[in-house]
Amino acid sequence: MIRVLLADDEGMIRSALAALLSLEPDIEIIAQCADGQQALTEAVALRPDVCLLDFEMPGLDGVDVAARLRRTVPTRCVIVTRHARPGVLRRALAAGVAGFLPKTRGAEEVAEIIRQVAGGARYIDPEVAADALSVDRPPLTSRELDVLRAGRRGETTGQIARSLSLAPGTVRNHISAILAKLSVSTRQQAVILAEEHGWI
């Protein structure tokens, strides 16, 4: 019997997956969690064979949970995500996850992937993997990404500068460089572009 922990903040998909997986003779859902923190504590307490973790969750995201679980609990993590960006896959692999699956795939495949992963194999969605290999490294320096992140909610130059302990002029220089590299003309467009590529 494969003991599975299921974490997804969306109740409908969580309960639907739980119901479907419970129909499988060799799979048992031992916990359902609505956020990352809860998933972490449950996983530590129950030591499931496999953790099926949604990426987008309030508080800790799925990859955060996998990373923290890595050295403490001998469990295999599968990340499931709505928007499978290369950046997310890279983060997930760095966190040592055993599986990576976008939600565009059908629910039928989930049980099979859980079996593979429980058996020691890894499963990475081929399409996302191809995307990630074919590149899309951010053309921005790490500091420029910091600035972009700090300003992603429409913060003013002064606010960004304060939150990063920088001079306003420095922030403006970074932003100017960002806009040039991304060939856009406002911060907001830069933020949107970067989010779409999974750079921030």
Partner DNA sequence: TTAGTCCGATGACAAAAGTCACGGGCTTAG
Partner DNA sequence: CTAAGCCCGTGACTTTTGTCATCGGACTAA
Provide, rounded to whole angstroms, the least separation between the CB of residue 88 and DNA.
22
Binder among 103, 149, 172, 181 for a second copy (CB under 8 A): 103
Binding partner of residue 157 among a second copy, DNA, none, CB cut-off 5 to 8 Å per kind:
DNA
Binder among 156, 167, 169, 176 for a second copy (CB under 8 A): 156
Q: Is 153 in the site for DNA (CB under 7 A)?
A: no
The stretch among 2-10, 12-20, 129-137, 165-173 that binds DNA (CB under 7 A) is 165-173
- Mark 108-147 with x for binding to DNA (rule: CB under 7 A) and - for no binding: ---------------------------------xxxx---
**Which residues have a Cβ under 8 Å from the Cβ of 78 and sit 6 or more positions away?**
50, 51, 52, 53, 97, 98, 99, 100, 101, 113, 114, 117, 123
Maximum pairwise Cα distance, the chain: 63
Q: At 106, list the tokens.
A: 């059908």
DSSP 3-state helix, strand, coil percentages of the chain (rounded to 5)?
A: 50, 15, 35
